[in-house]
Amino acid sequence: MMKKTRYTEAPEDIKESIKRSEIIDDFLPKPEELMFKEDNVKITLELSRRSVNLFKKYATRKGFKYQRMIRNLVDRYAESVLEKK
């Protein structure tokens, strides 16, 4: 069973700040608008076990997905090569 939340009076300076505040329109995009869907292609790629283990280790420490890290690395490399041409 959940405990009921008990509210107390806010300090005077907080009350005044709330009274003087101004409501603004919500200008933030919807979460689904922030998810960019890339046009990805699935491929089979052989990498060294050592490299994959390094990506997995780093990704686990940082809370990332290792496959996404590898994809981003390849994308950045491709972009840098294309910019030079």
Q: What are the tens digits of pLDDT across the range 39-76?
A: 889 999 999 999 999 999 999 998 889 998 999 899 88
pLDDT at 34: 65
Question: What pTM was computed for the model?
Answer: 0.53
59 with 72: CB under 8 angstroms?
no
Whether residue 83 has pLDDT greater than 90: no
One-letter amino acid at 29 equals P
31 with 46: CB under 8 angstroms?
no
Whether residue 35 has pLDDT greater than 70: no
CA–CA distance, 55 with 73 (Å, rounded to integer): 11
Token pair of 35 as six digits: 């998810």
Token pair of 59 as six digits: 């990704």
CA–CA distance, 12 with 10 (Å, rounded to integer): 6
